Amino acid sequence: MVDMPITKALAERLEKIAHSERRPLQDVLEDMVNTYSPPEIEEEPHNWPLLMAQLAETHEDIQWTDEAENLSENMRTILESHFADSLIRRLHDDEPDTYG
């Protein structure tokens, strides 16, 4: 046995899961670790769009909107219009932009 420091809240969550599954905590943790697969992410900083896409694919809890389906196709339009307008306003007005 090994002692591992974890927060009380996490310990309670793990115990609740084990109790609800009527299994020993050790078995629940082992299953969690065995099913965990860290995302394989390219670590090149210059390729951040790919990094973001890979992260998005590995996180199933992201609530995508209908607009997200065409986001990559619309990115040029978004950048050319909103970003350019925002930049021009900031340069001319010297006022903070709210990006909205």
Question: Which amino acid is it at 12?
Answer: E
Rounded CA-CA distance 34/16 in Å is: 20
- Please check whether residue 52 is in contact with residue 68, taking contact to mean a CB–CB distance below 8 angstroms: no
Q: pLDDT tens, position by position, for the chain (100 residues)?
A: 788 898 999 999 999 999 999 999 999 999 998 888 776 665 556 666 777 777 777 766 666 666 666 666 667 776 777 777 777 777 777 655 555 4
Q: Taking the model in full, what pTM does it have? A: 0.38
What's residue 56's pLDDT? 73
99: Cβ–Cβ under 8 A, 6 or more apart, which residues? 86
Domain boundaries, the chain: 1-37, 68-100
- Please check whether residue 68 is in contact with residue 78, taking contact to mean a CB–CB distance below 8 angstroms: no
